[in-house]
Structure 1
């Protein structure tokens, strides 16, 4: 058990999770591309029932530690505007999550803290990192403590990333 962030990369209809063990069923509501949710991670085994055409493309980031401040919630994707900006949307002593938008033809620098790393996840296509490495939708880039990376948008539309600052070390086993 720990804490998690679920990122959604496409619009998807509701999905039913039928859990093993102490049986119960949960229906995950429809999700939109570029949205995410945060909350406790629980060990579970389940069957997924998708009654709709198409898959849900997502990424789960799981932390093996517990925050003392327990953020929980859904963070919906704002409209994409062609303006470079960043906004911290959620934070605790374990992590912060900042939505970064880069206008077409622009670039931005993403830096890790002196004592903590950062993971950057592409929420749209169009990001070019470092020495020309393209970050497609759903791909990530790890930045070591004290490091920084210039992210360029070489496309004709705005692109978006989620920057996750990993502030706490994993819990002891």
Structure 2
């Protein structure tokens, strides 16, 4: 079982995500999130998918698309660091990604399938990492972090956004 990363293994703004991850087996949590997310959103209508709870906020479809895009980036960082690459990896501007993605033109089903595919790819990578790979440190987004921390950030990011979806979009 992968142990929780120490605070010096990730940038401070990721603390919220790491804190959201419950104790237990990280791999099982990541696997279980697929059905939890897909099942929770399966009955959402296309009209609900374009709902924004306030002016300037993302639509529900944009949140789902953002979740997949962010996981792609975090998983790529995880791969690079786990393989021992210490090349500094840049940050990314999430608002720019969402505004240029056109997520609202896709159906909810398409976006959920995309998230599911991205998560399956993340799981494929994670299943093949040994303890040494998890401990490796690298540079991303202007700071230093471990491969292990990225696994927790991926899980916590999904929890964070599902909490927002449940509280602000589907309450």
Q: Is the pair's TM-score, using the shorter chain for normalization, greater than 0.5?
A: no
Q: TM-score, normalised by structure 2?
A: 0.23
More relative contact order in 1 or in 2 (CA 8 Å, sep 6+)?
2
Larger Rg: 1
| Higher share in helix | 2
